[in-house]
Structure 1
Amino acid sequence: MSMQHMTGGGRGGGMGGGGTMRLFTQDSSVTDHHLGRSTLRRILTFARPYRARLAFFLVLLALDAAAGAATPLLFKYLIDDGIAQGDGRLVMLLAGGAAALALVSAGLSVAERWVSSQVGEGLILDLRTAVFDHVQRMPLAFFSRARTGALVQRLNGDVLGAQRAFTSTLQTVVSNALTIVFTLAAMFSMSWQLTLLSLVLVPVFVLPARWFGRRLAALTRRGYELNADLGQLMNERFNVAGAHLVKVFGDPARESEQYAGHARALRDLGVRTALLSTWFRVGLTTVASLAVATVYGLGGLQAIGGTLTVGVVVALTAYLGRLYGPLTAMSNVQVDVMTALVSFERVLEVLDLEPTVAEKPGAADLRPAVAEQGASVELDGVVFRYPGADEVSLASLESVATLRHDPTADTLRGVSFTVPAGAMVALVGPSGAGKTTVSQLVTRMYDPTEGTVRIAGQDLRDVTSASLRDTVGVVSQEAHLFHDSVGANLRYVRPDATDAELERALRQARIWGLVTSLPEGLDTVVGDRGYRLSGGERQRLAIARLLLRAPDVVVLDEATAHLDSESEAAVQEALDHALAGRTSLVIAHRLSTVRAADLIVVLDDGVVAEQGTHAQLLARDGLYADLYRTQFADRSSDADGGEGAEDAGVAADRKPTATPEPTIV
């Protein structure tokens, strides 16, 4: 009797094949987990669109189990009524019937796979799109806390585990249960004594199987951990930033040894798993062979004595091959079912995490108000604290036991100022004063804890997300580019943009010459995060992307903070064009940006310390003047001079040089 019969559930093919061995590699700890009724009801809602196909699937399983159970009966009659009686016509008829049943079973297997794949792949699509769409609506704080790998696992591993609840798990349970019922009914009808003897041997299968299952589960969990460590190591070393760090500071021999250590551990674990699995298979085969030998021995004696026929003995041994595999698999069915349902619960856990920034029902379109009133920006009594971990994240996504509930202090406290339509306001202040937080509130990455943020007089909580994205554009310190072509990165903000429109935006961003010099022009792939380009080139592409979108409000978050003087000058020229005629909120670090601002808002410890023009704030001799003197005192006394010297009233008659402009924090 082959191991396919012993471990293949009710039959040897189809989606349930190999069910027992698959079950033994599941984590049996899930049997201690309890699912609420509401969770089970929600799980069933995902199956509602597939009710008809699931019902048809169950019918196919029943027919397949019945066909499988009928085959040994045909062999019984073929031997007893055909061969023993010398009836060649009956032999051929019954042999043809067995062949027909085999063809029917094969057709049923194909039909089962077709239906189960439709249901399974449909569920995967439904779950993946539901999770992906929901995660996209999560606030920025969610992504700052959750591990990317854990999110990917929810969309891959857990979704596949949830899908198994309605396909392979359902098939395994139903198919094995029907196979056991049909097989036992047929066996009892032929010899209840030998059938009971066969059942007495079941614990010899089940108990070792459960022990092996626990051991294999422990090895499987360890394998997952080692593979995760190895994947994390490769991910960190193979991305561009990690590879650069390794080449600058790393030791190739140490890196190789670290990788080899993880790989050796996986090798040793694989050897242990293979050996344990082999012992398990050998044990099952041995016990199965003993059971067959027992039936043949006792059944043969009864056949000699005339109590049984030869056909009954042959049929009983054939039924043994259909009995022990399903019985052993059903002994672990709780583990299999709970594993699939717990995966479902982990998917629902993500779907149940409510976004802290959500679009209101009936939200208004912001664009008509901007067209009518202009794109003014107003912060009115804004108080803001960053949400705690328990408000925006899940412990399982952060690899912690529980999320901390430590109260966070207010980052902004009563901040109020207005940026008139078409004006430029510069935000300055010490590090940690709240400048970036203000920019994130204007783009509605977060909602204020108290107070209101308005554009064109409209509370951002009352407008649609799409119209806000059309109205506000951002260029940050780190211009992120996807691993795609130049053209695809630009068209991300306007998929319908023509090549002529791309060229115009690139010319305005002062980077068209570079693009034309690239090997494939607009079709040149920029590499992971755009690292095939320099920092200044990435920033100018980001500005071209902004110009292509043509927003009414531009937020610049220290867009030239980390550039060299030459790149900074090129980017600033592009920014000057991008800001022309637009309302702009600039987290400033360049003196020329501050001097050009219509209003400077000085933030300190989350409050507005001062407001005014550059000259007014210098005359007031407050925090801004202190920041100015701290940043520019050395340059003011420099013999080469520059803008900083002119504003300080020092060496005003000196000719400015091409030295980089000093910066404000």
Structure 2
Amino acid sequence: MRGERSGRRGDVTTKANQAGADPVTEAPKTWAALASLVQLVRRSRAPQLYWRLAGAILLTLAGKGLGVAAPLMLGAAVNRLAAGQGTGVALGLGFAAFAVGWAVIRFLSSATPQLSDVVFAPVRAAAQRQTAADTFSHALNLSLDFHQTKRSGALSRVMDRGARAVDFLLRILMFNLGPTVLELVLAAAVLGGRYSWRFAVVAVLVVLAYATVTFMMANWRLEHRRAMNTADAEAAGLSVDALLNYETVKSFGAENRTASAYEESLGTYMKASLKANNSLAALNLIQALIMNVGLGAMAVMAGYEAAAGRMGPGDVTAAVLIMISLYQPLNILGFAYREIRQSFIDMEEMLKVTRQKPLVADAPDAKPLPRPDGDCGAEVVFDHVSFRHDARANGLDDVSFTIAAGTTTALVGPSGSGKSTIVKLALRLLDPQSGSVSVGGHDVRAITQASLRQSVALVPQDVALFNDTLAANIAFAKPEASEAEIWAAAEAAELANFIRGLPDGMQTRVGERGLKLSGGERQRVGIARALLADPCVLILDEATSALDSRTEASIQHTLRKARAGRTTLVVAHRLSTIVDSQQILVLKEGRIVERGAHHELVARQGGEYATLWRKQTRGASDAG
């Protein structure tokens, strides 16, 4: 099949691919993409990069040179055979020698691209691996705002397609289109220099006509393929949706109606598919016409030259064979053109990720946060901190408080009052727009993020786990932890008995995001993970919200022991869990409206905390 390989790259198309190529803007983008590709290869750290690059280029050049030389050798053999009528053994041996030489050269011309691919394959593999790894690492280091707005599946596809695009572009440009252009130059030089300049002109004109028609029709066919892919996606989506919701379909007796809609969707796909196939057939026919017109013209010209005595029979054979060998790599030109365009788009989408700058980044002179001597607690200070989210009307407004080392401070307030923002600022997932946050006497913007997060551990309300074993999830905070340390953390989180009751114990896999565990079990794993990290500052963001009353009481006792000597920040809705906190901050619309110990706040008549306490204790009394 000329112009296109069977099979589809995928149903997803981009806006850049949907629109026709604009020659004015396409060329600069192409050169920029090629420059980016060269930079990716240079950063690949492939073994013997420059030696392999030079070797692959030399082998490719040799292969194309031999490809043009092979028909000349066969032509010489035919001329030798036709030169004499009764020359006997000498003629036979001469012909055999040329024929064998032609076979050897033809074999070498076919073998050198394979050897070139073997030599260059480690470079392509290293470039693909390094590109994917760098993009993944950069995405992980981007700020919270990026990850809150991204679509994880789309980002994964962008990285995957971009890495594969690098491999494809290196392979197709290095070993297909680039060598084909070189082969055209060599063939034109040989035909013009050995025979006549007219042969070179015909060869160049035919190839240019072939390429122009292929590119134009490839752009025209994009619309047909896009319609086919859209119809295919529509039919697939309808069938999957109906099968997933078969109970609803059956409940309303809609089997026939749904089947008819599916059949209609398939009809639309079939029409689009026929158009795509017909346009491909038209492309192949036009390509074949151009190719055979060129061959016919070359054969006629060679015949006239032979009749005039300027060429022998072998020269006619050589000229035609050179044209045939030149056409062979052009068979996939349409496919290569479309895939190269798509690969450049995929690579550019991936590079857009790597060009994004994190809003929260380590300062050039950032230093590690030193661990406090003796007691492991560290003072946390918010000094006139303000922060406003883009998507919200309210944020933090001039918030100041101090959590003394080794003490517990609780945050209380309605949803949207700023509690989660304070947690993210303490972890430096966000930077304040004014004011400062310090831990252990150091502004968090002056210390490295890695050292800060080694000293500050978070137990979130919704603990997300990796699809790995319980042991791996607990040890994620401290990969070098021993088995005894992991079990000690599980014991402290009231999780050990549950793990012992499992058939695979610590080696039990928890499933995607830990969905094989209940909400309470996931929270206990999160608590065990935080305790294993042995942090200076422990942040509990509704860490017991998914536990039953008995387990919560047990965990609260464990957490009180874990908090000993540590600075602790607790976000809570159930006030009964924070009555022993040294300081309670009541937030409302981004401001601290009350602060003090539990007994002080309860004693304030009409206060926010006292009102909330009465509601919760009255609800508990009524339930009892």
Name the TM-score, length of structure 1 as normaliser. Answer: 0.79
Q: By how many angstroms is 1:453 displaced?
A: 1.2
Matching of residue 78 in structure 1 with residue 63 in structure 2: no
- Alpha carbons of structure 1 residues 317 and 103: separation in structure 2 relative to 1, 3 Å: closer
2:164 and 2:617 mapped to 1: Cα distance? 60
Letter in 1 for 2:223: A
Match of residue 466 from structure 1: 450
Distance in 2 (CA, whole Å) between partners of 1:464 and 1:215 is 54
CA deviations 1:549-607 (Å, max 9, x no partner) are 12121111112334454554555455444334422111112232121211110001101
Q: Determine which of 210, 213, 218 is the counterpart of 2:218.
A: 213
Name 2:57's counterpart in structure 1.
58
1:206-254 CA-partner distances (Å, limit 9, x unpaired): 444233301333345556767888999999999xxxx9xx799998989
Match of 2:522 in 1: 538
The residue aligned with 2:46 is none
User: Are 2:461 and 1:477 equivalent residues in the alignment?
Assistant: yes
Contact 1:158 1:346 in 2 (8 A): yes
Instruction: Quote the residue 1:355 is aligned against.
Output: 358
Quickly say closer, same or farther: Cα 1:166–1:545, change in 2 above 3 A. same
The corresponding residue for 1:598 is 582
Which amino acid in structure 2 is aligned with residue 485 of structure 1?
Answer: T
Separation in 1, partners of 2:167, 2:328: 24
Following superposition of structure 1 onto structure 2, how do residues 128-139 of structure 1 map, counting pairs within 5 Å? Answer: 128-139=132-143
1:47 Cα offset (Å): 3.6
Superposed counterparts of 1:114-513, under 5 Å:
114-188=118-192, 189-197=194-202, 199=204, 201-202=206-207, 205-221=210-226, 272-296=275-299, 299-300=302-303, 303=306, 306=309, 308-324=311-327, 340-369=343-372, 371=374, 374-386=377-389, 388=390, 409=393, 411-513=395-497
In 2, the alpha carbon distance for the partners of 1:64 and 1:236 equals: 53
SS in structure 2 at match of 1:183: helix
Structure 1 unaligned blocks of 5 or more: 9-17, 389-405, 641-665
The superposition leaves residues 631-661 of structure 1 with CA deviations (integer Å, 9 ceiling, x where unpaired) of 444444x283xxxxxxxxxxxxxxxxxxxxx
Q: 1:473 to 1:331 in 2, by over 3 A?
A: closer
Residue aligned with 1:212, SS: helix
Cα gap change, 1:610 to 1:234, in 2 (>3 Å): farther
Shift of 1:445: 0.8
Cα-to-partner distance string for 1:341-369 (whole Å, 9 max, x where unaligned): 55444333222211111112332222334
Read off the aligned partner of 1:214 and give its amino acid letter: N
- After TM superposition, give the deviation of residue 610 of structure 1 in Å: 0.5
Following the alignment from structure 2 to structure 1, what is the Cα–Cα distance between the partners of residues 507 and 235?
34
Q: 1:57: Cα distance to partner? A: 2.5
Cα deviation digits, residues 248-298 of structure 1 (max 9, x gap): 999898999799998887776555544433443344234433443454456
Whole-Å Cα distance in 1 between the matches of residues 277 and 543 of structure 2?
56
Distance in 2 (alpha carbons) for counterparts of 1:628 and 1:456? 33
Q: CA deviation at 1:161?
A: 2.2
Q: 1:256 to 1:480 in 2, by over 3 A?
A: farther
Shift of 1:415: 0.8
Q: CA RMSD in A?
A: 3.9
How many pairs were matched up?
598
Q: What are the residue-to-residue correspondences of 1:21-32 with 2, within 5 Å?
A: 27=17, 29=21, 31=23, 32=25
CA contact (8 A) 2:604 2:610 kept: yes
SS of the counterpart of 1:280?
Answer: helix
Q: Which moved more, 1:340-349 or 1:229-238?
A: 229-238
Q: Of 99, 113, 118, which residue of structure 1 is paired with 2:117?
A: 113
Q: Is 1:618 equivalent to 2:608 in the alignment? A: no
Quick one: distance in 2 between partners of 1:469 and 1:235?
Answer: 43
Q: Describe the SS at the equivalent of 2:428.
A: coil
**In the alignment, what sits opposite 1:656?**
none
Per mean C-alpha deviation after superposition, the further-off stretch among 328-337 and 363-372 is 328-337
Query: Is contact 1:183-1:322 (8 Å) kept?
Result: no
Q: Secondary structure at the match of 1:473?
A: strand
Contact 1:510–1:573 (CA under 8 A) maintained in structure 2: no
Corresponding residue of 1:650 = none
For the pair 1:582 / 2:553, whether they are aligned, the reply is: no
Distance 1:421 1:134 in 2: 34
Alignment-derived partner of residue 40 in structure 2: 46
Name the CA shift for 1:67/1:266 in 2 (closer, same or farther; >3 Å).
Answer: farther
* Larger CA deviation: 348-357 vs 167-176: 167-176
Which range moves more in the overlay, 553-562 or 329-338?
Answer: 329-338
Partners in 2 of 1:625 and 1:485 — Cα distance? 44
Identity %: 30
- Where 2:398 maps in the other structure, the secondary structure is strand
Aligned to 1:628: 613
Shift of 1:474: 0.8
Residue 661 of structure 1: aligned partner = none
